[in-house]
Amino acid sequence: MSQAVPTYKAVITAKQMIAPDTMLVTLKLEAPESFTFKAGQFAEIGRPDQPGSTRAYSICSAPSALPEVEFCIRLFPGGMISQYVAAKKIGDTIDVQAPFGAFTLENLDTPFQFVATGTGIAPLRSLLITLFEKKPEGQADLLFGVRDEKHMLFEQELAALAKKHKGFSYHYVLSQASETWKGLRGYVTEHIDAIQPDAQFYLCGNPQMIKDVKAKLVAHAIASSAIHVEQW
Ligand SMILES: Cc1cc2nc3c(=O)[nH]c(=O)nc-3n(C[C@H](O)[C@H](O)[C@H](O)COP(=O)(O)OP(=O)(O)OC[C@H]3O[C@@H](n4cnc5c(N)ncnc54)[C@H](O)[C@@H]3O)c2cc1C
């Protein structure tokens, strides 16, 4: 862990499977008064018994939810840190080092195009909540690629946000949808069509999606300063 950024103890207060392979973990920070982060930033979580074992996890809750922070973690079979966190019980403590990263909101007066795949929704959830807290009349669209209906993370929450804020729209894109799915199919890259020249683009998810979407934006003459990327 980098020494310049502080490490905090946090107690697990809730755990919930929100997809077959994804857990939403809620933590309450001890000494929260000195903990700060900006929406979109990430933390490093590691095993104290294994120095150098840390992994990055985006904080998927908004700063307004402090002293609680949430993480949306895909559980990999044999994954050192995802399984370490998943095995923890409510009331257990873990070490959280934060904040890191610059995947944050800049100018709130522009329209926003968010693009996520899978748990890439994590920092975008924090950005979306914060954007509409600060600017209820903001303009944002989310294109969210997942495998199938079971992996539609935060579906009810996104529906509620869109109901509350006229300027927010969202579209799931399913790569392995059931026959009854009436929404978008395939990959998010195929559905980035109405590219707004004055928008800020925030992309988070797997490297191939980011590469493809970036190429499409660049081909539409979007400036690199308007394209914000976090990938894993
Ligand atoms: C800035 C940043 C933010 C991140 N935020 C999140 C987040 O919010 N939620 C989240 O779930 N993850 C996030 N990650 C990924 C996370 O840091 C870990 O890489 C991931 O949880 C795997 O760690 P692990 O210790 O469980 O698995 P490891 O022990 O590192 O790996 C075990 C096995 O899991 C498989 N595996 C690991 N990573 C991947 C992958 N990306 N794709 C396919 N297979 C893989 C491989 O087979 C690997 O051999 C983020 C990464 C970065 C860089």
Mean local confidence (pLDDT), 204-228: 95
What residue's CA is closest to ligand 1, atom 49?
A: 79
Distance CA 105, CA 202 (A): 9
Distance CA 141, CA 131 (A): 12
Model confidence pLDDT, tens digit, residues 159-177: 999 999 999 999 999 999 9
> What is the Rg, in whole angstroms, of the alpha carbon atoms belonging to the chain?
18
What residue's CA is closest to ligand 1, atom 43?
A: 76
pLDDT of residue 3: 55
From the number of C-beta atoms within 10 Å of its C-beta (0-12, 13-18, 19+), residue 206 rates as: middle
Distance CA 66, CA 47 (A): 23
Judge if the beta carbon of residue 80 lies within 6 A of ligand 1: yes
Tell which atom from ligand 1 comes closest to the C-alpha of 71.
8
Taking the CA atoms of residue 158, residue 160, residue 164 and residue 169 in that order, the dihedral angle to the nearest 10 degrees is 30
The residue whose two tokens read 């392979």 is 21
Distance 49 CA to ligand 1 centre (A): 19
Q: Which of 129, 88, 96 is nearest to 112 (CA)?
A: 129
pTM of the complete model: 0.96
Model confidence pLDDT, tens digit, residues 14-53: 999 999 999 999 999 998 888 999 999 999 999 999 888 9
What residue's CA is closest to ligand 1, atom 40?
A: 232
- With a pLDDT cut of 70, the percent of the chain lying above it is 99
Judge if the beta carbon of residue 126 lies within 6 A of ligand 1: no
Judge if the beta carbon of residue 232 lies within 6 A of ligand 1: yes
Judge if the beta carbon of residue 79 lies within 6 A of ligand 1: yes
The residue whose two tokens read 């869109």 is 162
